[in-house]
Amino acid sequence: MRFRVNEFYAPVDPGVLRRERARARELRESGWWKRKLSTGICYYCRRRVGTRALTMDHIVPLGRGGRSVRGNVVPACKDCNNRKQSSLPVEWQDYLTSLGSVSEE
């Protein structure tokens, strides 16, 4: 089943976005996040790209109501992060399936 982006869109308060982005910056400085990066592997495509090539991706994007918490952020290569943009997991599923690396985590 395919979904259009606007089917799951609700505007997010700018103040909430500001706070969540600040939390993401704090999370990036944590030992927990540095350990997540240490594998150098993208959560989505499973390619080993090295720690410097990984970015923080919100599984449920901030603009779609996601939060900057450990359970909602994963290390992603820049290519996957750019392709995913503000997609929800259900919308991103087609791309993951095409990679053959679908994760049910």
Cα–Cα distance measured from residue 2 to residue 89, given in angstroms and rounded to the nearest whole number: 11
Collapsing DSSP states into helix, strand and coil, what is residue 41?
strand
pLDDT band at 26 (very low <50, low <70, confident <90, very high): very high
The token pair that represents 71 in the structure block: 């359970």
The token pair that represents 83 in the structure block: 């392709």
Per-residue pLDDT at 101:
52
Domains observed in the chain: 9-96 (1.10.30.50)
| 80 burial via Cβ count (<10 Å: 0-12, 13-18, 19+) | buried
* pTM exceeding 0.75: yes
**DSSP secondary structure letters along 51-77:** GGGEEEEESS-GGGT---SGGGEEEEE
